[in-house]
């Protein structure tokens, strides 16, 4: 499901810095993420 960065930030109650119109297509690890993926970072 494609969403804009702004839509995701609004849903999560977060603050977006940068281009809110960027379309994100999926979630991926830092190692495997492409240009349209939301990068997931595990807790350290």
String of DSSP letters for 5-23: HHHHHHHHT----S-TT-E
Q: Are 24 and 34 in contact (CB under 8 A)?
A: no
Q: What percent of the chain has pLDDT over 70?
A: 98
Mean pLDDT of all residues belonging to the chain: 91
Average the pLDDT over 5-33 and give the result.
93
* Residue 38: C-alpha distances to residues 27, 30 (Å): 5, 9
Task: Provide the domain limits for residue 25.
Answer: 3-40
Please state the domain count of the chain.
Answer: 1
Q: Which own/partner pairs from 16-24 qualify as long-range (CB within 8 Å, at least 24 positions apart)?
A: none
Query: Is there a contact between 21 and 4 (Cβ–Cβ < 8 Å)?
Result: yes
Label residue 1 by pLDDT band (50, 70, 90).
confident
16-29: pLDDT as tens digits = 999 899 999 999 99
């Amino acid at each position: 499901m494609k969403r804009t960065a702004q839509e995701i930030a609004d849903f999560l109650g977060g603050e977006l810095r940068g281009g809110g119109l960027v379309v994100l297509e999926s979630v991926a690890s830092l190692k495997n993420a492409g240009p349209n993926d939301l990068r997931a970072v595990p807790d350290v």
